Amino acid sequence: MGNVYLTGAGPGDVELLTLKAARVIKEADVIIYDRLANPDILEMSKDGCEFVYVGKEDGRHIMPQDDINEVIYQNALKHENVVRLKGGDPFVFGRGGEEAAYLQERGIGFEIIPGITSAISAPAYAGIPVTHRGVAVSFRVVTGHESPNKKVSQIPWENFRTDDTIVFLMGLHNLPKITKKLKEVGKEGSFPCAVISKGTTKEQSVVVGTLDTIIDLAKDVPTPALIVVGKVVELRKQLEWFKGEEA
Ligand code: SAH
C-alpha cells in the first residue's frame, strides 16, 4: 500500500515549488492534479508517471470532492508513490484536510507538503506586503465563495472594521457583495482594494482601486483572482516590481 503526498504546487510560478514537492513529483507513480496547479510542473515527473486530472475551477469542483477522495484512495491501493498536487497550499481552502481524513480512515499513510499560498504570494508579486509596520499588524484569509443569499454568515464581517489586511479567495463573482458588506460594517468607500489575477505567472494582472471603484475596474479580470482589501495596497505604488509579460 502506497503513500500519498498531499502536495502544494505553489501559486503559479513553477520556481515557487518547494524542494520537497519537486522530489516527490520526480518519484511519483501517479499525480492527481487540479486546474490551479501549473501543468508545467508535471513535466518534472519520471517516464511512465500517470496523470489524473480532477479539475476544480475557482473553488467549484467539476468532480465532487467525495469522488476525488475515492480517486486518491484507489490510486493509493495501486501505486507506491501517489502525489495529490494542489494549487497554492493544500490546507488553505484546498480541502486537503478532508482528503487526509479520508485516507486516515482507510489506513492509508499520507504526508502533507505545504505550498506557497496565493493569498500571500500573489500580493507579494503585486508589490503588496500583507503586513507592514505601521500599516497592518495582521492579515486574514477569507473565503469569498459563501453564497450572498446565506441568511446566517459564517464570516465575522463585524471584525473587519480595522485597517488590517483582508485577502478574499474565490471571491471575484461576489465582489459587489463583498464591497457592500465591508461598507455596511463601517469601511469607507475610499478604502484601498486590489484584485490580482493569475498572480505570480507571466499573465499576472493587477487592478487597484477603492471599495467604490473596484467592481467596475475588475469586471473583465480573468480567474483565478483574489481580492486584497487594506491600506497595504497603497504600498504597491512604491513596491511594484514584477511586470509579468505585458503586451
Ligand atoms: N490552496 C490555494 C487556494 C485554493 S482556493 C492557495 O493556497 O493558493 C482557489 C482560489 O485561490 C481562487 O479562486 C483564487 O482566489 C485564488 N488563487 C489561486 N491561485 C491564484 C493566483 N495565481 N492568482 C490569484 N489568485 C489565485
Taking only the tens place, the pLDDT of each residue in 82-130 is 999 999 999 999 899 999 999 999 999 999 999 999 999 999 999 999 9
Angstrom distances, CA of residue 147 to CA of 121, 153, 174, 176? 26, 9, 8, 12
Give yes or no for residue 87 CB within 6 A of ligand 1.
Answer: yes
Task: Tell me whether residue 64 is exposed, middle or buried, using C-beta atoms within 10 angstroms of its C-beta: 0 to 12, 13 to 18, 19 or more.
Answer: exposed
Q: Flag whether 168 is in a domain.
A: yes
Mean local confidence (pLDDT), 213-218:
97
Please determine, for residue 191, whether its predicted confidence score (pLDDT) is greater than 90: yes
Q: Is the pLDDT of residue 220 over 80?
A: yes
113, 133, 166: which is the final residue of a domain?
Answer: 113
In the chain, the percentage of residues whose pLDDT exceeds 70 is 95
CB of residue 224 inside a 6 A radius of ligand 1: yes
Q: Using a 6 Å cutoff on CB, does residue 170 contact ligand 1?
A: yes
**CA 44 – ligand 1 centroid, Å:** 22
Same domain as 182, residue 89: no
Domain residues for the domain of 100 are 3-113
Domain boundary among 94, 113, 132: 113
Domain count, the chain: 2
Q: Are residues 8 and 103 in the same domain?
A: yes
Q: Tell me, what's the pLDDT at 159?
A: 87
Q: What is the domain-level CATH number for residue 73?
A: 3.40.1010.10
Packing angle between helix 96-105 and helix 65-78, nearest 10 degrees?
50
66 and 19 both lie in a single domain:
yes
Confirm whether 205 is domain-assigned: yes
The answer as to whether 244 is a domain residue is: no
- Answering whether pTM is above 0.75, one says yes
Residue 242 in this model has a pLDDT that exceeds 70: yes
Mean pLDDT, all residues of the chain: 93
The residues facing 56 across adjacent strands are 61
- Residue 57, pLDDT > 80, answer no
Our answer on whether the CB atom of 226 is closer than 6 Å to any ligand 1 atom is yes
Catalytic positions, written as ranges: 34, 56, 170
Do both 94 and 16 map to the same domain?
A: yes
Q: How far is the CA of 171 from the centre of ligand 1 (A)?
A: 10
Q: Do residues 80 and 11 share a domain?
A: yes
Inside any domain, residue 42? yes
pLDDT digits (tens, 9 = 90+) for 128-161: 999 999 999 999 999 998 876 677 888 999 888 8
Mean pLDDT for 180-189 is 94
**Residue 246 falls inside a structural domain:** no
